Amino acid sequence: MISFFKKNKNHPDFWKDYERKFQHKLPELIQDVRFVVLDTETTGFDLKKDRILCIGAVNLEHNNIEISRTLELYIDQETFNPDTVKIHGIIKNEDLNTLTEREALVTFLNYIENAVLVAHHAQFDIAMINHALKRLGLPKLKNKVLDTMVLYRATRINSNLIDQNKHYSLDEVAENLNISVKDRHTAAGDAMITAIAFLKIVAKLNKKDKGKLKHLLQVN
Amino acid sequence: MFKLAVRIYFKMKNTIAERIADFLKRFPPFDLLKPHQLLDISREVKVVYVQKGDTIFNQGDEGHSQFYVVQKGAVAIQRKENGQTDTLDKCDEGDIFGLRPLFAKENYMISANAEEESILYAIPIEIFQPLIKRNYRVGQFLIESFASNTRNPYSREHRGKLYTENEIQEDSAPELFELQPVQYVKNIISCTKNTAVSTVAKLMSAKNVGSVLVVENEIPLGIVTDKDIRNTIAVGIYPIDIAVEKIMSAPVICYAKGLTIAQAQVAMMKHKISHLCITKDGTPNTKVLGIVSEHDIIVSQGNNPAVLIKAIERANKSKVLKAIHERIMHLLNGYLQQNIPMTHVSKIMFELNDATIKRVIERSLEKIKTPPPVKFAWMSLGSQGRKEQLLHTDQDNAIVFEDVPENKLEATKAYFLELAKLVNKGLNNIGFDYCPADMMARNPNYTLSLQEWKKQFTEWMTSPGNDEILLCSIFFDYDISYGDVWLTNQISDHIFKLSENNQLFLTALASSSIRSASPLGFFRQFLVETNGEYKDFFDLKKRAIMPITDAGRVLILQHKIKNINNTAERFEKLAELEPQNRELYLSCSYTAKALLKFRTKQGLLHNDTGRFIELDTLSKEEKIKLKRCFKTINDVQELIKLRFKITAFL
């Protein structure tokens, strides 16, 4: 405990608040766990150069998604980038509040607490967020992470006839799981589709209920 | 810092709430709300995911603080009375339910159960209630839906009475036909006992009916039918102007309403009559309510396979096809309850499934608009190919198309893949799940030109590894569902040519067919699954159905018999070809049918594919029957071992 505080002496309060949330152990059963399903829109795929434009996230507890607890953050861009034009359009047209990267991260950490994070191709979204944290001189996210791509792959039967290492796009997963994809390509819309996909995948992986979180983490 | 977060939280854009509002505004009563009201509601919605079979609330549960809208899926509204569960209503996309807490602080009087995997929007009553008070039409609509959610078959009947005595009854729920209450004609053609026969005959012609009821003070005295007039007047026993009383059949056979169709049919057969009279208390001493004729029963026979086929051919929406499929399942359930022979049942189910697949393909072709560039055939594989698909299991299918010049191959294939995608999706919408191994025509590996298919089979059959054998066993049992039969015959011929004198291939196929050993352990106990989702369940498909199917396939292939895909039929043919093994083959044929029936019953019981069986739920008799099947499987596997000399390989 002593070394724990020592190490973080210089971090701002919001980070300390966030860290403190992890003193509680996560519930054992999936149905009791709080998940935050998220998606980020970015200017590109370069972790160093590119920036997050928007973070969308939904809150998932007991098989329920509460719309009032949806998170949708739009981030100011320091430099002009042609890829950001579309999102600027949205911001301008709808007269949206934008945040600095720092404000967005503060809000985000305050929102996620110690929830298990879920995303499609999660590695990328998490890495983008971790790089943003790094720019503020902060450590990486401490949350457990689940990737719906990997989980979906585990629902496919184990057969030599299908490629075990195939990558499934969110569109493919949605089509196979019969999810309508009207909201594609907004961060919040994608987060919602991912959340529904996640629910369906978990149902497939745990036909007998009372599934445990650790089994999902093992798949990943 | 925390303050900042809160500030942003309230000013936030909510794309998802906007989408939910877009959905809700398509359905009443939400279409009556103003956009900002709708958005306010949408922001507070909870999206609820339920699996097939989940209960949303039970009769007697305390009211939830929310009511529900179905976004996707289907929810059955049920009421339990005297130990019997009645399905009152079925809610699908856009329907609302669970409204009681909105009107009264009472416990639910009905249960809501997910019939399919569903997504629901839960709308908080706290938010919605003020809107009802402000908007009269919204309230009115909700009260009406509330009433119809809770209606029962009795109130449905009474409702008609409020308007007119003679109203035609509403379509009844697609339950098993024979057990439905019989529908009777309320508009009775009647006369008094003193009416002259000639007058009665004129009345019959004018009203185009085959019978006239003779009544007095609304009490039935007798009935006159075409047949009575023929047997008395026409043959000259009585003159034509005699009082009808002399020739009528009396007393009239009477029943109370609520009589089932099956009972009505039996009663007619027993009394050798074609009309029954429905009276208030079921005796000839009370008021006449209506007449049931044999003819009406036949016409109304909604779940008759012939009627269903017609309905499939006319269906223009997947929703309609899906509804028809539910009726098919009722029919299947009825057949199994009545112990109708499995051969007959599988043939009828095959035809119905086949008609459905054809219809989906036709509709997909219409959607594409451009006609197919060359001839093609749609092949159903696996259980549908073997005419053994009774329940909705997975779809397995493939396309073969006519050879085209090299430079056109890509474009042609692209067309058929597009078609395949539509058909696969269409079938999925009706309830044929996607194949988990992607053995479907939309997979580019399985939509090939004739030449490519021949090459593919040559590859599989000349270097038969485990995967190749598995593919062969799936693709050998195909049935053409649509298109040009010449193409599929070409493939069949090719396969037979390749298997001729191909000892390597036959041996590999044979040894794969005995891979799943007898499902009984040393102490004759069942071998259950030892790990995974179905731990401690018995895998009926893998341990019993696949072995007998595989055995039938390899034996029939050795005899070069084509066009018999059904396992039971294959063994019957084998019994004919090898009289020395007749006994064994006939019991194999019996086993194949028994297992199929067993699986279907299990599937209908648990509303799944029937593949995995919980042994504890089986009766002793069922277990003995199953064990008898396994003995047969064991025997035929022994025969295969000897015949293909594969002991050495094991």
pLDDT for B528: 67
Nearest to B16 among A97, A192, A203 (CB): A192
pLDDT category, B204, cuts 50, 70, 90?
confident
DSSP B67-122: EEEEEES-EEEEEEETTEEEEEEEE-TT-EE--HHHH-S---SSEEEESSSEEEEE
> In the structure encoding, which two tokens stand for residue B86, read together?
């009645």
CA distance B221 to B213: 8
Query: Do the domain assignments include residue A24?
Result: no
CATH of the domain at A157: 3.30.420.10
d(CA B643, CA A26): 60
Lookup result for tokens 């090898």: B578
Q: Is residue A172 part of a domain?
A: yes
Query: pLDDT digits over B57-68, tens only?
Result: 998 899 999 999
Whether chain B has a CB inside 8 Å of the CB on A180: the answer is yes
- The end-to-end CA distance of chain B, in Å, is 71
Burial zone of B11 (CB within 10 Å; 0-12 exposed, 13-18 middle, 19+ buried): exposed
Instruction: Encode chain A (220 residues) as per-residue pLDDT tens digits.
Output: 444 555 556 889 999 999 999 998 899 888 899 999 999 988 888 888 888 989 999 999 988 999 999 999 988 877 666 666 666 566 666 666 788 999 999 999 999 999 999 999 999 999 999 999 999 999 999 999 999 999 998 887 666 666 777 788 898 898 888 887 766 678 888 999 999 999 999 988 876 556 788 888 887 7
Q: Is the minimum CB–CB distance between A14 and chain B shorter than 8 Å?
A: yes
Residue B337 token pair: 């309850």
What integer pLDDT is reported at residue B287 of this predicted model? 87
- Distance between CA atoms of residues B472 and B457, nearest Å: 8
A111, closest residue in chain B (CA to CA) = B5
Contact of B400 with B453, CB cutoff 8 Å = yes
- pTM above the 0.80 mark? no
Q: Is any Cβ of chain B less than 8 angstroms from the Cβ of A99?
A: yes
Domain for residue A3, yes or no?
no
Question: Structure tokens of B219?
Answer: 């009490």
Residue A156 belongs to some domain of the structure: yes
The DSSP secondary structure of B562-619, one letter per residue, reads -S---HHHHHHHHHHH-GGGHHHHHHHHHHHHHHHHHHHHHHHHHTS-S-EE-GGGS-
At B165, is the pLDDT very low, low, confident or very high (cuts 50, 70, 90)?
very low
| C-alpha–C-alpha distance, residues B96 and A149, integer Å | 34
- Beta carbons of B597 and B589 less than 8 angstroms apart: no
Chain A residues with CB-CB distance to B424 below 8 A: none
pLDDT of residue B180: 66
Report CB contact under 8 Å: A161, B467. Answer: yes
Confidence at residue B148, expressed as pLDDT on a 0 to 100 scale = 62
- Assess if residue A7 is contained within a domain: no
| Contact present, A200 and A63 (Cβ < 8 Å) | no
Pairwise CA distance, residues A84 & A88, whole Å: 6
pLDDT at B388 over 50: yes
Q: List pLDDT tens digits, range B282-316.
A: 888 888 888 888 766 765 555 677 778 877 887 87
User: Do residues A90 and A96 touch, judged by C-beta distance below 8 A?
Assistant: yes
Measured CA to CA in angstroms, residue A215 lies from A6, A168, A210, B198 at distances of 34, 21, 11, 85
Higher pLDDT, A148 or B236: A148
CATH number for the segment(s) B345-500: 3.30.460.10
CB distance B437–A183 less than 8 Å?
Answer: no
Omega of the bond leading into B372 within 30 degrees of 0 (cis): no
CA distance B420 to chain A (A): 14
pLDDT at B491 exceeding the cut of 70 = yes
Which two structure tokens, joined as six digits, stand for B628? Answer: 């008898």
Look at B4 and A14 and tell me if their CB atoms are within 8 Å: no
User: At B197, is the secondary structure helix, strand, or coil?
Assistant: helix
Q: Which of these, A126, A115, A177, lies nearest to A152 by C-alpha position?
A: A177
d(Cα A191, Cα B114) in Å, to the nearest integer? 25
- Residue B75 backbone phi and psi in degrees, to 5: -125, 130
Average pLDDT over residues B43-49: 93
Scan residues 51-70 of A and list those with Cβ closer than 8 Å to B. Answer: 56, 58, 63-68, 70
In single-letter form, the type of residue at position B511 comes to S
> What percent of chain B has pLDDT above 90?
25
The answer to whether A66 and A59 are in contact (CB under 8 A) is: yes
pLDDT value at position B589? Answer: 93
| pLDDT score at B525 | 65
Burial class (CB in 10 A: 0-12, 13-18, 19+), B41: buried
Q: How many structural domains does chain A have?
A: 1
| Shortest CA gap B287–chain A (Å) | 55
pLDDT higher than 80, residue B70: yes
Residue A189 to chain B, least CA–CA distance (Å): 6
Q: Which residue of A has its CA nearest to B3?
A: A107
Q: Give CA–CA dist B424/B378, Å, rounded.
A: 11
B190-299 fold: CBS-domain (3.10.580)
What is the pLDDT averaged over residues B365-374? 92
Q: Which residue has the higher pLDDT, A52 or B533?
A: A52
| A170 within a domain of the structure (yes/no) | yes
Q: With left for phi above 0 and alpha for psi between -120 and 50, is residue B98 left, alpha or beta?
A: left
Residue A74 lies in a domain: yes
Side chain identity, residue B650:
L
Overall average pLDDT of the B33-47 stretch: 91
Contact present, B100 and B108 (Cβ < 8 Å) = yes
The answer to whether the CB atoms of B49 and A162 lie below 8 A apart is: no
* DSSP secondary structure code for residue A212 in this structure: B
Give which of A38, A60, A61, A65 to mutate to test B binding, by max B Cβ within 10 Å.
A65
**Average pLDDT value for chain B:** 82
* Contact check, Cβ <8 Å, B122/A64: yes
Give the count of beta carbons closer than 10 Å to the beta carbon of residue A52.
23
Strand pairing class (B397-401; B447-449): parallel
Residue of chain B whose alpha carbon sits nearest to that of A162: B437
For chain B, domain boundaries: 16-151, 190-299, 345-500, 503-650
Degrees to nearest 5, angle at CA B449 with B448 and B450: 120
DSSP letter, residue B240: T
SS3 (DSSP) at A198? helix
**A76 within 8 A of A101, measured Cβ to Cβ:** yes
- Stronger pLDDT, A55 or B624, i.e. the higher one: A55
Q: Tokens 């044999």 map to which residue?
A: B294
Give B1's DSSP letter.
-
Is residue B303 within 8 A of residue B246, CB to CB? The reply is no
pLDDT for the residue B260: 78
Residue A79, token pair as written in the block: 């430099």
∠ Cα B49 B51 B54 (to 5°): 105
pLDDT digits 0-9 by tens, B539-569: 888 888 889 999 999 998 888 887 788 999 9
- Residue B599 carries which side chain, given as an amino acid letter? R
Report the 10 Å Cβ neighbour count for B291.
24
- Sheet containing strand B219-225, edge to edge, reads B190-191, B211-216, B219-225
Residue B163: per-residue pLDDT: 28
Residues in a beta bridge with B86: B79
pLDDT band at B592 (very low <50, low <70, confident <90, very high): very high
From chain A, the residues in CB contact with B1 under 8 A are: 13-14, 106, 110
State residue A110's pLDDT score: 94
Can you give the residue range of the structural domain that contains A133? Answer: 34-219
CA distance B626 to B594: 9
ipTM greater than 0.90: no
Cβ <8 Å between B2 and A200: no
The residues that bridge with B276 in the sheet, in sequence order, are: B292
pLDDT(B471) > 70 = yes
The highest-level CATH class for domain B16-151 is mainly beta
Phi, psi of B567 (to 5 degrees): -60, -50
- B13 and A159 within 8 Å at the Cβ level: the answer is no
Q: Is residue A21 part of a domain?
A: no
Q: Side chain identity at B276, as an amino acid letter?
A: L
